[in-house]
Chains A and B, each alone.
Chain A
Amino acid sequence: MVAKDGQKVADVLSDGNVPGSLEVLRERVLNKRSGAASVQDWRAKLRQWWPYYAMMAPGLLFFFIWHYVPIWEAKMAFEQVRIIPPNIWVGLKNFQQLFASPIFYQVLANTLIISAMKIAFVFPVPIIVALLLNEIRNGKLRGTIQSAIYLPHFLSWVVIAGVFIAILSPTDGAVGQIQQAMGFGAPSNYLTNPASIRWVLVISEIWRSAGWDSLLYLAAIFAIDPQLYEAAEIDGANRWQKIWHVTIPGIVPTIATLFILNMGLFLSADLNQVINFQNDVNASTIDILDTYVYRLGLSTGEYALATAAGLFKAVIGMVLIVTSHLVSKRLTGKGVW
Chain B
Amino acid sequence: MTFKKLLLATTAVAMLGASIVPAMAQTTLRLVSKDLLTTNPDDVRLIEEIEAGLKAKGHDIDIQTIDLPSGTAAYADALGVMLLSGDIPDVIYFQGGDQKMAEQGILEDLTPWIEGSENIKAALWPHNVERLANYPYLLYIYPPRGPQPVIRQDWLDELGLEAPTTVEEYEALFQAIHDADLDGDGTPGNTLGLTGFGNTSELDSIFNQAFGVTGTWMKNAEGQWVNSRVTDAEKAKIEFYARLAEKGLFDKEFVTNTFDVKEDKFYTGKAGVIFGSSPEVIDIYAGKMRQAHPGEEIELAVLPAPTGPGGQGLAAVDVSKESRGWAISSLSENKEAAVALLDFMASKEGQDLERLGFADVHHTVGADGAVTFTDQISTWYARFFNAANWTPPTPLLSPTAQTALDNIKNGFVADNAFVWPAEYAAEVDAAEQVYRSWVARFVTGEATLDQWQQFVDEYNPRAVHAWRSMRRRCWAASSATTRATPPPP
Chain A residues in the interface with B (C-beta under 8 A):
81-85, 97-98, 100-104, 162, 165, 169-171, 189, 191-193, 279-281, 283-284, 287, 295-296, 298-303
15 contacts between A and B (CB under 8 A): A82-B104, A83-B101, A83-B106, A98-B426, A103-B433, A165-B256, A170-B252, A280-B439, A281-B255, A281-B437, A284-B433, A299-B73, A299-B76, A301-B80, A302-B100
Which residues 80-114 in B have Cβ within 8 Å of A in the complex? 80, 83-84, 86, 88, 96-101, 104-106
Q: Whole-angstrom distance between the alpha carbons of A171 and B250 in the complex? A: 13
Residue pair A100, B446 in contact (C-beta under 8 Å): no
Contact of A296 among B99, B261, B425 (CB under 8 A): B425
Residue pair B258, A162 in contact (C-beta under 8 Å): yes
Contact of A101 among B73, B430, B444, B461 (CB under 8 A): B430
Which residues 46-91 in B have Cβ within 8 Å of A in the complex? 73, 76-77, 80, 83-84, 86, 88
In the complex, B235 has a CB within 8 A of chain A? no
A residues in contact with B331, CB < 8 Å: 84
Smallest CB gap from B200: residue in A: A280
Q: Whole-angstrom distance between the alpha carbons of A99 and B157 in the complex? A: 58
B residues in contact with A299, CB < 8 Å: 73, 76-77, 96-97
B residues in contact with A192, CB < 8 Å: 255-256, 440, 444, 446
Residue pair A301, B99 in contact (C-beta under 8 Å): yes
A residues in contact with B444, CB < 8 Å: 189, 192, 281
In the complex, B253 has a CB within 8 A of chain A? yes
Smallest CB gap from A194: residue in B: B446
Residue pair A102, B462 in contact (C-beta under 8 Å): yes
Residue pair A301, B100 in contact (C-beta under 8 Å): yes
A residues in contact with B198, CB < 8 Å: 279-280
B residues in contact with A98, CB < 8 Å: 426
Residue pair B441, A300 in contact (C-beta under 8 Å): no
Residue pair A102, B430 in contact (C-beta under 8 Å): yes
Q: Whole-angstrom distance between the alpha carbons of A192 and B256 in the complex? A: 8
B residues in contact with A280, CB < 8 Å: 198-199, 255, 436-437, 439-440
Residue pair A296, B446 in contact (C-beta under 8 Å): no
In the complex, B422 has a CB within 8 A of chain A? yes
Q: Whole-angstrom distance between the alpha carbons of A104 and B430 in the complex? A: 9
In the complex, B185 has a CB within 8 A of chain A? no
Q: Whole-angstrom distance between the alpha carbons of A103 and B458 in the complex? A: 12
Smallest CB gap from A279: residue in B: B255
7 A-B pairs besides A82-B104, A101-B427 with CB distance below 8 A are A83-B106, A84-B106, A101-B430, A102-B461, A103-B433, A281-B255, A303-B80
Residue pair A301, B433 in contact (C-beta under 8 Å): no
In the complex, B429 has a CB within 8 A of chain A? yes
Q: Whole-angstrom distance between the alpha carbons of A35 and B76 in the complex? A: 53
B residues in contact with A85, CB < 8 Å: 86
CB-CB nearest 3 A-B residue pairs: A301-B100, A280-B440, A101-B426
Q: Whole-angstrom distance between the alpha carbons of A303 and B422 in the complex? A: 12
Q: Whole-angstrom distance between the alpha carbons of A170 and B251 in the complex? A: 11
A residues in contact with B255, CB < 8 Å: 191-192, 279-281
Residue pair B440, A279 in contact (C-beta under 8 Å): yes
Which residues 260-307 in B have Cβ within 8 Å of A in the complex? 261
Q: State the Cβ distance, A16 to closest chain B Cβ, in Å.
A: 60
Smallest CB gap from B102: residue in A: A301
Q: Whole-angstrom distance between the alpha carbons of A287 and B430 in the complex? A: 11
B residues in contact with A295, CB < 8 Å: 429
A residues in contact with B76, CB < 8 Å: 299
Give the interface SS of chain A, mostly helix, strand, loop or mixed.
loop
Residue pair A170, B253 in contact (C-beta under 8 Å): yes
Residue pair B104, A296 in contact (C-beta under 8 Å): no
Q: State the Cβ distance, A94 to closest chain B Cβ, in Å.
A: 11
In the complex, B423 has a CB within 8 A of chain A? yes
B residues in contact with A302, CB < 8 Å: 100, 422, 425
Q: Take A298-B80, A300-B97, A302-B425 as given contacts and tell me if A283 and B433 are in contact as well, using a CB distance cutoff of 8 Å.
A: yes
Q: Whole-angstrom distance between the alpha carbons of A194 and B100 in the complex? A: 35
B residues in contact with A191, CB < 8 Å: 255-256
Smallest CB gap from A284: residue in B: B437
B residues in contact with A301, CB < 8 Å: 80, 97-101, 422
Q: How many residues of B contact A (CB 8 A)?
A: 43
Q: Whole-angstrom distance between the alpha carbons of A98 and B430 in the complex? A: 12
Q: State the Cβ distance, B274 to closest chain A Cβ, in Å.
A: 17
A residues in contact with B98, CB < 8 Å: 301
Q: State the Cβ distance, B480 to closest chain A Cβ, in Å.
A: 15
Smallest CB gap from B85: residue in A: A83
Q: Whole-angstrom distance between the alpha carbons of A100 and B106 in the complex? A: 29
B residues in contact with A300, CB < 8 Å: 96-97, 99-100, 422, 425
A residues in contact with B261, CB < 8 Å: 165
Residue pair B430, A103 in contact (C-beta under 8 Å): yes
Q: State the Cβ distance, B138 to closest chain A Cβ, in Å.
A: 14
Q: Whole-angstrom distance between the alpha carbons of A171 and B444 in the complex? A: 13
Which residues 422-454 in B have Cβ within 8 Å of A in the complex? 422-423, 425-427, 429-430, 433, 436-437, 439-441, 444, 446
Residue pair A97, B426 in contact (C-beta under 8 Å): yes
A residues in contact with B423, CB < 8 Å: 97
> Which of A81, A98, A102 has its CB near the most chain B CB atoms (within 10 A)?
A102
Smallest CB gap from B80: residue in A: A301
Smallest CB gap from A166: residue in B: B261
Residue pair B80, A84 in contact (C-beta under 8 Å): no
Q: State the Cβ distance, B453 to closest chain A Cβ, in Å.
A: 18
Residue pair B433, A189 in contact (C-beta under 8 Å): no
Q: Whole-angstrom distance between the alpha carbons of A263 and B33 in the complex? A: 40
Q: Whole-angstrom distance between the alpha carbons of A104 and B426 in the complex? A: 9
> Which of B88, B106, B429, B461 has its CB near the most chain A CB atoms (within 10 A)?
B429
Smallest CB gap from A297: residue in B: B425
A residues in contact with B425, CB < 8 Å: 296, 300, 302
Q: Whole-angstrom distance between the alpha carbons of A299 and B106 in the complex? A: 18
Residue pair B429, A296 in contact (C-beta under 8 Å): yes
Contact of B77 among A100, A104, A298 (CB under 8 A): A298
A residues in contact with B422, CB < 8 Å: 300-302
A residues in contact with B433, CB < 8 Å: 103, 283-284, 287
Residue pair B426, A83 in contact (C-beta under 8 Å): no
B residues in contact with A284, CB < 8 Å: 433, 437
Q: State the Cβ distance, B19 to closest chain A Cβ, in Å.
A: 37
Q: State the Cβ distance, B451 to closest chain A Cβ, in Å.
A: 14
Contact of A83 among B88, B258, B440 (CB under 8 A): B88
Q: State the Cβ distance, B440 to closest chain A Cβ, in Å.
A: 4
Residue pair A296, B97 in contact (C-beta under 8 Å): no
Smallest CB gap from B441: residue in A: A281
Smallest CB gap from B431: residue in A: A102
A residues in contact with B429, CB < 8 Å: 101, 103, 295-296
Q: Whole-angstrom distance between the alpha carbons of A88 and B436 in the complex? A: 36
Residue pair A296, B199 in contact (C-beta under 8 Å): no
Q: State the Cβ distance, A189 to closest chain B Cβ, in Å.
A: 7
Contact of B253 among A171, A193, A296 (CB under 8 A): A171
Q: State the Cβ distance, A187 to closest chain B Cβ, in Å.
A: 12
Smallest CB gap from A171: residue in B: B253
Q: Take A83-B83, A83-B104 as given contacts and tell me if A281 and B426 are in contact as well, using a CB distance cutoff of 8 Å.
A: no
Q: Whole-angstrom distance between the alpha carbons of A193 and B252 in the complex? A: 13
Which residues 357-376 in B have Cβ within 8 Å of A in the complex? none
Q: State the Cβ distance, B54 to closest chain A Cβ, in Å.
A: 28
Mark contacts of B18-43 with chain A using CB atoms, 8 A cut-off: 1 yes-contact digit, 0 otherwise.
00000000000000000000000000
Q: State the Cβ distance, B73 to closest chain A Cβ, in Å.
A: 7
B residues in contact with A171, CB < 8 Å: 253
